[in-house]
Amino acid sequence: MAYRRSKSIREIRGLSVAELKNKIRDLEEHQFQLRMQFRTGQLASTAMIGLARGEMARAKTVLLEKQRAESATVKV
């Protein structure tokens, strides 16, 4: 699976909660594949692991922000 980093945080913020959950699941799978490639010596650049981890962190942060915003509007 070829993976490219999102262009910007704006792109991630434009996703719905369900789309963010799917993106996080895909990123977790991709990160697992990268770790396996690293362990077997097939990974060309170890920096890809850090990029995938950063992308996942951004997606999880936006998901948490959206969930907190939804719960705040429900309480009011």
- Domains of the chain (ranges; CATH) run 12-71 (1.10.287)
Task: Give me the pLDDT at residue 1, please.
Answer: 47
Contacts (Cβ under 8 Å, ≥6 apart) of 36: none
Q: Where are the alpha helices (DSSP H) in the chain?
A: 9-13, 17-39, 47-75
User: Three-class SS of residue 14?
Assistant: coil
62, 20 contact by CB (below 8 A): yes
Other Cβ atoms less than 10 A from the Cβ of 27: the count is 19
Which has the closest alpha carbon to 3: 25, 31, 22? 31
Task: Give me the pLDDT at residue 30, please.
Answer: 96
Task: Give me the pLDDT at residue 76, please.
Answer: 56
Per-block mean pLDDT, blocks of 10 residues, the chain (76 long):
63 94 96 97 95 95 94 76
